[in-house]
Chains A and B, each alone.
Chain A
Amino acid sequence: MTQAASEARLPVEATRRVERRFASDLRAIRIVWYRELARFAQDRTRIVAQVVQPVLFLFVLGAGLNTIASQGAHGVSLKTFFYPGILGMSVMFTAIFSAASIVWDREFGFLREMMVAPVRRGSIVVGKCLGGATVAAVQGLVIVAMAGFVNVPYNPILILEIVLLQLVLAFTLTAFGVMVAARLKQMTAFMTLTQMLVMPLFFISGALFPASGLPGWLEVLNRIDPLTYGIDPIRRVVFSYLNLSPAARSALDPGLTWGSWHLSILVEVLVVLVLGVAMLTVAFVEFNRNES
Protein backbone atom coordinates (compact mmCIF):
# COMPACT_ATOMS: atom_id res chain seq x y z
CA MET A 1 0.00 0.00 0.00
CA THR A 2 2.72 2.43 0.95
CA GLN A 3 4.63 1.14 -2.04
CA ALA A 4 1.70 1.99 -4.28
CA ALA A 5 1.44 5.43 -2.74
CA SER A 6 5.06 6.24 -3.40
CA GLU A 7 4.81 4.87 -6.95
CA ALA A 8 1.84 7.10 -7.55
CA ARG A 9 3.97 10.15 -7.08
CA LEU A 10 6.44 9.16 -9.76
CA PRO A 11 4.42 8.24 -12.83
CA VAL A 12 5.33 11.25 -14.94
CA GLU A 13 9.00 10.58 -14.65
CA ALA A 14 8.68 6.84 -15.01
CA THR A 15 6.70 6.89 -18.24
CA ARG A 16 8.57 9.75 -19.70
CA ARG A 17 11.91 8.07 -19.23
CA VAL A 18 11.24 5.15 -21.53
CA GLU A 19 9.86 7.22 -24.35
CA ARG A 20 12.38 9.94 -24.14
CA ARG A 21 15.54 8.00 -23.64
CA PHE A 22 16.50 7.90 -27.29
CA ALA A 23 15.53 11.52 -27.81
CA SER A 24 17.56 12.66 -24.83
CA ASP A 25 20.57 10.70 -26.05
CA LEU A 26 20.26 12.46 -29.40
CA ARG A 27 20.15 15.81 -27.67
CA ALA A 28 23.23 14.90 -25.69
CA ILE A 29 25.07 13.86 -28.85
CA ARG A 30 24.10 17.10 -30.51
CA ILE A 31 25.22 19.33 -27.66
CA VAL A 32 28.54 17.52 -27.19
CA TRP A 33 29.10 17.83 -30.94
CA TYR A 34 28.20 21.50 -30.81
CA ARG A 35 30.58 22.11 -27.94
CA GLU A 36 33.46 20.69 -29.97
CA LEU A 37 32.69 23.15 -32.74
CA ALA A 38 32.27 26.08 -30.34
CA ARG A 39 35.57 25.30 -28.66
CA PHE A 40 37.30 24.98 -32.01
CA ALA A 41 35.91 28.25 -33.34
CA GLN A 42 37.28 30.08 -30.31
CA ASP A 43 40.72 28.61 -30.48
CA ARG A 44 42.41 30.68 -33.17
CA THR A 45 45.94 29.53 -32.37
CA ARG A 46 44.85 25.95 -32.81
CA ILE A 47 43.32 26.70 -36.19
CA VAL A 48 46.50 28.37 -37.38
CA ALA A 49 48.86 25.79 -35.90
CA GLN A 50 47.04 22.93 -37.50
CA VAL A 51 47.15 24.55 -40.91
CA VAL A 52 50.84 25.42 -40.75
CA GLN A 53 52.14 21.88 -40.45
CA PRO A 54 50.44 20.40 -43.53
CA VAL A 55 51.36 23.48 -45.53
CA LEU A 56 54.99 23.01 -44.54
CA PHE A 57 54.90 19.42 -45.70
CA LEU A 58 53.13 20.28 -48.92
CA PHE A 59 55.12 23.25 -50.11
CA VAL A 60 58.49 22.96 -48.38
CA LEU A 61 58.95 19.20 -48.53
CA GLY A 62 57.23 19.02 -51.90
CA ALA A 63 59.29 21.78 -53.47
CA GLY A 64 62.52 20.70 -51.81
CA LEU A 65 62.37 17.04 -52.75
CA ASN A 66 61.17 17.85 -56.23
CA THR A 67 64.73 18.81 -57.27
CA ILE A 68 66.03 15.29 -56.73
CA ALA A 69 62.93 13.21 -57.33
CA SER A 70 61.47 14.59 -60.54
CA GLN A 71 62.78 11.53 -62.42
CA GLY A 72 60.63 9.00 -60.56
CA ALA A 73 57.59 11.23 -60.61
CA HIS A 74 57.00 11.01 -64.35
CA GLY A 75 56.86 14.75 -64.72
CA VAL A 76 54.26 15.13 -62.00
CA SER A 77 55.22 17.70 -59.38
CA LEU A 78 55.84 16.16 -55.96
CA LYS A 79 53.55 18.80 -54.52
CA THR A 80 50.74 17.35 -56.59
CA PHE A 81 51.69 13.85 -55.58
CA PHE A 82 51.86 14.73 -51.88
CA TYR A 83 48.57 16.60 -51.99
CA PRO A 84 46.21 13.68 -51.16
CA GLY A 85 48.53 12.57 -48.37
CA ILE A 86 48.56 16.05 -46.94
CA LEU A 87 44.76 16.17 -47.07
CA GLY A 88 44.82 13.07 -44.90
CA MET A 89 47.51 14.49 -42.67
CA SER A 90 45.62 17.62 -41.78
CA VAL A 91 42.62 15.51 -40.88
CA MET A 92 44.80 13.29 -38.75
CA PHE A 93 46.30 16.07 -36.65
CA THR A 94 42.98 17.76 -36.06
CA ALA A 95 41.13 14.55 -35.24
CA ILE A 96 43.68 13.31 -32.75
CA PHE A 97 43.82 16.72 -31.14
CA SER A 98 40.04 16.74 -30.80
CA ALA A 99 40.20 13.48 -28.91
CA ALA A 100 42.81 15.00 -26.66
CA SER A 101 40.10 17.28 -25.34
CA ILE A 102 38.70 14.30 -23.44
CA VAL A 103 41.89 14.03 -21.43
CA TRP A 104 41.85 17.79 -21.09
CA ASP A 105 38.25 17.69 -19.87
CA ARG A 106 39.15 15.05 -17.39
CA GLU A 107 42.07 17.05 -16.05
CA PHE A 108 39.96 20.16 -15.72
CA GLY A 109 36.91 18.41 -14.36
CA PHE A 110 34.40 19.05 -17.12
CA LEU A 111 34.27 15.38 -18.09
CA ARG A 112 32.57 14.79 -14.76
CA GLU A 113 29.75 17.14 -15.61
CA MET A 114 29.08 15.06 -18.72
CA MET A 115 29.55 11.73 -16.99
CA VAL A 116 26.99 12.41 -14.28
CA ALA A 117 24.32 13.52 -16.74
CA PRO A 118 21.26 11.27 -17.04
CA VAL A 119 22.22 10.07 -20.52
CA ARG A 120 24.08 7.06 -21.80
CA ARG A 121 27.84 7.38 -21.75
CA GLY A 122 27.82 6.24 -25.34
CA SER A 123 26.10 9.40 -26.47
CA ILE A 124 28.91 11.48 -24.99
CA VAL A 125 31.47 9.37 -26.85
CA VAL A 126 29.55 9.52 -30.12
CA GLY A 127 29.10 13.28 -29.77
CA LYS A 128 32.84 13.67 -29.25
CA CYS A 129 33.68 11.56 -32.30
CA LEU A 130 31.24 13.34 -34.57
CA GLY A 131 32.43 16.70 -33.25
CA GLY A 132 36.05 15.78 -33.83
CA ALA A 133 35.24 14.51 -37.30
CA THR A 134 33.42 17.70 -38.22
CA VAL A 135 36.17 19.92 -36.93
CA ALA A 136 38.77 17.87 -38.80
CA ALA A 137 36.80 18.04 -42.01
CA VAL A 138 36.37 21.80 -41.66
CA GLN A 139 40.09 22.14 -41.05
CA GLY A 140 40.68 19.94 -44.08
CA LEU A 141 38.80 22.45 -46.23
CA VAL A 142 41.75 24.80 -45.87
CA ILE A 143 43.92 22.26 -47.64
CA VAL A 144 41.16 21.55 -50.15
CA ALA A 145 41.19 25.26 -50.96
CA MET A 146 44.87 25.02 -51.91
CA ALA A 147 44.18 22.60 -54.75
CA GLY A 148 44.92 25.26 -57.38
CA PHE A 149 48.46 25.79 -56.09
CA VAL A 150 49.33 22.16 -56.78
CA ASN A 151 47.62 21.89 -60.16
CA VAL A 152 44.57 20.02 -58.95
CA PRO A 153 41.38 21.36 -60.57
CA TYR A 154 38.63 22.94 -58.49
CA ASN A 155 35.87 20.55 -59.44
CA PRO A 156 32.76 20.60 -57.22
CA ILE A 157 32.29 16.82 -57.43
CA LEU A 158 35.93 16.23 -56.56
CA ILE A 159 35.69 18.59 -53.61
CA LEU A 160 32.57 16.84 -52.37
CA GLU A 161 34.24 13.45 -52.70
CA ILE A 162 37.29 14.67 -50.82
CA VAL A 163 35.21 16.15 -48.01
CA LEU A 164 33.21 12.93 -47.60
CA LEU A 165 36.35 10.81 -47.52
CA GLN A 166 37.90 13.19 -45.02
CA LEU A 167 34.83 12.92 -42.81
CA VAL A 168 35.08 9.15 -42.74
CA LEU A 169 38.79 9.23 -42.02
CA ALA A 170 38.34 11.93 -39.38
CA PHE A 171 35.62 9.92 -37.64
CA THR A 172 37.83 6.86 -37.38
CA LEU A 173 40.88 8.81 -36.25
CA THR A 174 38.85 10.60 -33.59
CA ALA A 175 37.48 7.26 -32.45
CA PHE A 176 41.07 6.06 -32.23
CA GLY A 177 42.01 9.12 -30.19
CA VAL A 178 38.98 8.77 -27.93
CA MET A 179 39.80 5.12 -27.35
CA VAL A 180 43.32 6.06 -26.27
CA ALA A 181 42.05 9.03 -24.25
CA ALA A 182 39.60 6.84 -22.33
CA ARG A 183 42.45 5.33 -20.36
CA LEU A 184 44.65 8.33 -19.80
CA LYS A 185 44.42 10.83 -17.01
CA GLN A 186 47.12 13.26 -18.01
CA MET A 187 47.55 15.43 -21.06
CA THR A 188 51.29 14.82 -21.17
CA ALA A 189 50.75 11.07 -21.31
CA PHE A 190 48.28 11.46 -24.15
CA MET A 191 50.61 13.71 -26.10
CA THR A 192 53.56 11.36 -25.65
CA LEU A 193 51.55 8.35 -26.69
CA THR A 194 50.01 9.94 -29.75
CA GLN A 195 53.35 11.40 -30.85
CA MET A 196 54.71 7.89 -30.66
CA LEU A 197 51.89 6.54 -32.80
CA VAL A 198 50.94 9.37 -35.14
CA MET A 199 54.17 9.98 -37.02
CA PRO A 200 54.85 6.28 -37.73
CA LEU A 201 51.25 5.82 -38.86
CA PHE A 202 51.59 8.80 -41.15
CA PHE A 203 54.94 7.80 -42.67
CA ILE A 204 53.99 4.17 -43.17
CA SER A 205 50.59 5.01 -44.64
CA GLY A 206 51.91 5.88 -48.08
CA ALA A 207 50.94 9.53 -47.71
CA LEU A 208 54.36 10.40 -49.13
CA PHE A 209 55.00 7.46 -51.46
CA PRO A 210 53.04 5.07 -53.69
CA ALA A 211 52.04 1.87 -51.93
CA SER A 212 53.40 -0.53 -54.52
CA GLY A 213 56.80 -2.05 -55.14
CA LEU A 214 57.75 -1.50 -51.52
CA PRO A 215 60.22 -3.74 -49.66
CA GLY A 216 58.31 -6.69 -48.20
CA TRP A 217 58.48 -5.58 -44.55
CA LEU A 218 57.27 -2.11 -45.42
CA GLU A 219 54.45 -3.43 -47.53
CA VAL A 220 53.24 -5.53 -44.60
CA LEU A 221 53.37 -2.56 -42.25
CA ASN A 222 51.69 -0.39 -44.85
CA ARG A 223 48.75 -2.77 -45.20
CA ILE A 224 48.35 -2.97 -41.41
CA ASP A 225 48.36 0.81 -41.02
CA PRO A 226 44.73 1.97 -40.92
CA LEU A 227 45.67 5.36 -42.30
CA THR A 228 46.65 3.64 -45.56
CA TYR A 229 43.00 2.90 -46.24
CA GLY A 230 42.04 6.47 -45.51
CA ILE A 231 44.60 8.10 -47.77
CA ASP A 232 44.51 5.80 -50.80
CA PRO A 233 40.89 6.62 -51.71
CA ILE A 234 41.66 10.33 -51.48
CA ARG A 235 44.60 9.85 -53.83
CA ARG A 236 42.49 7.86 -56.24
CA VAL A 237 39.75 10.45 -56.52
CA VAL A 238 42.25 13.31 -56.81
CA PHE A 239 44.25 11.53 -59.47
CA SER A 240 41.17 10.65 -61.45
CA TYR A 241 40.80 14.37 -62.13
CA LEU A 242 44.40 14.76 -63.31
CA ASN A 243 45.66 14.47 -66.85
CA LEU A 244 48.35 11.82 -66.61
CA SER A 245 50.17 9.40 -68.86
CA PRO A 246 49.23 5.77 -68.17
CA ALA A 247 52.81 5.12 -66.99
CA ALA A 248 52.65 7.96 -64.49
CA ARG A 249 49.25 6.81 -63.28
CA SER A 250 50.30 3.24 -62.61
CA ALA A 251 53.49 4.37 -60.89
CA LEU A 252 51.99 7.08 -58.72
CA ASP A 253 48.46 5.83 -58.14
CA PRO A 254 48.73 2.05 -58.09
CA GLY A 255 45.91 1.48 -55.59
CA LEU A 256 46.05 -1.09 -52.85
CA THR A 257 46.29 -4.84 -53.14
CA TRP A 258 45.78 -7.65 -50.69
CA GLY A 259 47.84 -10.35 -52.34
CA SER A 260 46.60 -10.11 -55.89
CA TRP A 261 43.23 -8.58 -55.05
CA HIS A 262 42.88 -4.93 -55.96
CA LEU A 263 40.76 -3.19 -53.36
CA SER A 264 38.04 -0.91 -54.64
CA ILE A 265 37.51 2.50 -53.08
CA LEU A 266 34.36 1.18 -51.46
CA VAL A 267 36.24 -1.62 -49.72
CA GLU A 268 38.86 0.82 -48.50
CA VAL A 269 36.21 3.12 -47.11
CA LEU A 270 34.53 0.14 -45.46
CA VAL A 271 37.80 -0.89 -43.84
CA VAL A 272 38.13 2.60 -42.37
CA LEU A 273 34.52 2.67 -41.18
CA VAL A 274 34.64 -0.78 -39.63
CA LEU A 275 37.84 0.13 -37.79
CA GLY A 276 36.21 3.33 -36.60
CA VAL A 277 33.16 1.58 -35.27
CA ALA A 278 35.33 -1.09 -33.62
CA MET A 279 37.44 1.53 -31.85
CA LEU A 280 34.34 3.42 -30.86
CA THR A 281 32.98 0.23 -29.30
CA VAL A 282 36.17 -0.21 -27.32
CA ALA A 283 35.86 3.41 -26.21
CA PHE A 284 32.25 2.77 -25.06
CA VAL A 285 33.32 -0.16 -22.96
CA GLU A 286 36.24 1.77 -21.51
CA PHE A 287 34.07 4.69 -20.51
CA ASN A 288 31.36 2.58 -18.99
CA ARG A 289 33.88 0.69 -16.94
CA ASN A 290 36.35 3.38 -16.04
CA GLU A 291 34.41 6.37 -14.98
CA SER A 292 32.00 6.26 -12.17
Chain B
Amino acid sequence: MERERLWRALREGAQNAVRTILVLAKVMVPATLLVTFLELSGLLPQLAKRFAPAMALLGLPGEAAIALVAGNLSSMYAGVGAMAALELTVKQRLILAAMLMLSHSLPQEGAIVLQAGGRALQVVGVRILTALATGIVLNMFF
Protein backbone atom coordinates (compact mmCIF):
# COMPACT_ATOMS: atom_id res chain seq x y z
CA MET B 1 0.00 0.00 0.00
CA GLU B 2 1.39 3.43 -0.89
CA ARG B 3 2.43 5.69 1.90
CA GLU B 4 -0.33 8.20 1.14
CA ARG B 5 -3.13 5.68 1.58
CA LEU B 6 -1.59 4.27 4.72
CA TRP B 7 -1.34 7.79 6.12
CA ARG B 8 -4.98 8.47 5.26
CA ALA B 9 -6.03 5.23 6.97
CA LEU B 10 -4.08 6.16 10.09
CA ARG B 11 -5.64 9.61 10.23
CA GLU B 12 -9.20 8.40 9.57
CA GLY B 13 -8.90 5.58 12.06
CA ALA B 14 -7.54 7.81 14.80
CA GLN B 15 -10.24 10.41 14.11
CA ASN B 16 -12.94 7.73 14.30
CA ALA B 17 -11.50 6.49 17.58
CA VAL B 18 -11.44 9.98 19.08
CA ARG B 19 -15.01 10.60 17.91
CA THR B 20 -16.26 7.31 19.33
CA ILE B 21 -14.52 7.85 22.65
CA LEU B 22 -15.97 11.36 22.94
CA VAL B 23 -19.48 10.12 22.20
CA LEU B 24 -18.92 7.32 24.67
CA ALA B 25 -17.56 9.61 27.38
CA LYS B 26 -20.44 12.08 27.04
CA VAL B 27 -22.94 9.37 27.90
CA MET B 28 -20.84 7.01 29.99
CA VAL B 29 -19.43 9.44 32.55
CA PRO B 30 -22.81 10.85 33.69
CA ALA B 31 -24.31 7.35 33.73
CA THR B 32 -21.48 6.00 35.86
CA LEU B 33 -21.73 8.99 38.21
CA LEU B 34 -25.48 8.57 38.56
CA VAL B 35 -25.21 4.87 39.32
CA THR B 36 -22.34 5.45 41.76
CA PHE B 37 -24.44 8.11 43.52
CA LEU B 38 -27.47 5.83 43.71
CA GLU B 39 -25.27 3.04 45.04
CA LEU B 40 -23.52 5.12 47.70
CA SER B 41 -26.70 6.86 48.85
CA GLY B 42 -28.39 3.52 49.40
CA LEU B 43 -31.15 4.16 46.86
CA LEU B 44 -29.90 1.59 44.36
CA PRO B 45 -29.78 -1.29 46.86
CA GLN B 46 -33.42 -0.51 47.72
CA LEU B 47 -34.40 -0.35 44.07
CA ALA B 48 -32.40 -3.49 43.39
CA LYS B 49 -34.44 -5.47 45.90
CA ARG B 50 -37.58 -4.91 43.84
CA PHE B 51 -35.89 -6.04 40.64
CA ALA B 52 -33.98 -8.93 42.20
CA PRO B 53 -36.58 -11.69 41.57
CA ALA B 54 -36.96 -10.84 37.87
CA MET B 55 -33.24 -10.29 37.37
CA ALA B 56 -32.45 -13.65 38.99
CA LEU B 57 -33.95 -15.31 35.91
CA LEU B 58 -31.18 -13.65 33.92
CA GLY B 59 -28.54 -14.56 36.48
CA LEU B 60 -28.04 -10.87 37.24
CA PRO B 61 -28.18 -8.93 40.52
CA GLY B 62 -31.06 -6.49 40.95
CA GLU B 63 -28.68 -3.55 40.49
CA ALA B 64 -28.05 -4.58 36.88
CA ALA B 65 -31.64 -3.60 36.03
CA ILE B 66 -30.46 0.01 35.93
CA ALA B 67 -27.92 -0.84 33.21
CA LEU B 68 -30.63 -2.50 31.12
CA VAL B 69 -33.07 0.37 31.56
CA ALA B 70 -30.44 3.01 30.76
CA GLY B 71 -29.13 1.06 27.77
CA ASN B 72 -32.54 0.49 26.25
CA LEU B 73 -34.09 3.89 26.84
CA SER B 74 -31.02 6.06 26.36
CA SER B 75 -28.01 4.59 24.61
CA MET B 76 -25.97 1.43 24.88
CA TYR B 77 -23.10 3.52 26.20
CA ALA B 78 -25.23 4.59 29.16
CA GLY B 79 -25.71 0.89 29.87
CA VAL B 80 -21.94 0.40 29.60
CA GLY B 81 -21.43 3.31 31.99
CA ALA B 82 -23.82 1.81 34.52
CA MET B 83 -22.04 -1.52 34.11
CA ALA B 84 -18.70 0.11 34.87
CA ALA B 85 -20.03 1.25 38.25
CA LEU B 86 -21.34 -2.19 39.26
CA GLU B 87 -19.44 -5.13 40.73
CA LEU B 88 -20.16 -8.10 38.47
CA THR B 89 -18.66 -11.52 37.71
CA VAL B 90 -17.45 -12.32 34.19
CA LYS B 91 -20.55 -14.44 33.58
CA GLN B 92 -22.79 -11.58 34.65
CA ARG B 93 -20.81 -9.19 32.46
CA LEU B 94 -21.22 -11.47 29.46
CA ILE B 95 -24.97 -11.80 30.00
CA LEU B 96 -25.38 -8.06 30.43
CA ALA B 97 -23.18 -7.37 27.39
CA ALA B 98 -25.20 -9.75 25.22
CA MET B 99 -28.50 -8.21 26.31
CA LEU B 100 -27.24 -4.66 25.88
CA MET B 101 -25.81 -5.36 22.43
CA LEU B 102 -28.94 -7.06 21.16
CA SER B 103 -31.32 -4.44 22.49
CA HIS B 104 -30.39 -0.81 23.11
CA SER B 105 -31.17 2.81 22.22
CA LEU B 106 -34.67 1.69 21.29
CA PRO B 107 -36.26 5.13 20.77
CA GLN B 108 -33.49 6.36 18.45
CA GLU B 109 -32.96 3.13 16.55
CA GLY B 110 -36.68 2.50 16.34
CA ALA B 111 -37.01 5.90 14.66
CA ILE B 112 -34.38 4.94 12.07
CA VAL B 113 -36.27 1.75 11.24
CA LEU B 114 -39.52 3.69 10.94
CA GLN B 115 -37.88 6.21 8.63
CA ALA B 116 -36.67 3.41 6.39
CA GLY B 117 -40.15 1.95 6.11
CA GLY B 118 -39.72 -1.04 8.41
CA ARG B 119 -42.21 -2.11 11.05
CA ALA B 120 -40.53 -0.42 13.98
CA LEU B 121 -42.71 -1.91 16.72
CA GLN B 122 -42.16 -5.41 15.45
CA VAL B 123 -38.40 -4.88 15.21
CA VAL B 124 -38.24 -3.36 18.70
CA GLY B 125 -40.38 -6.18 20.13
CA VAL B 126 -38.19 -8.84 18.54
CA ARG B 127 -35.07 -7.15 19.92
CA ILE B 128 -36.40 -7.07 23.50
CA LEU B 129 -37.55 -10.68 23.35
CA THR B 130 -34.26 -11.83 21.80
CA ALA B 131 -32.28 -10.06 24.53
CA LEU B 132 -34.41 -11.62 27.29
CA ALA B 133 -34.26 -15.09 25.77
CA THR B 134 -30.49 -14.83 25.28
CA GLY B 135 -30.02 -13.73 28.89
CA ILE B 136 -32.10 -16.62 30.22
CA VAL B 137 -30.37 -19.20 27.99
CA LEU B 138 -26.88 -17.92 28.85
CA ASN B 139 -27.73 -18.01 32.54
CA MET B 140 -28.89 -21.62 32.29
CA PHE B 141 -26.15 -23.08 30.11
CA PHE B 142 -23.04 -20.98 30.59
Report whether chain A binds chain B.
Answer: no
Which B residues are within 8 Å of any A CB, using their own CB? none
A: residues with CB less than 8 A from B are none
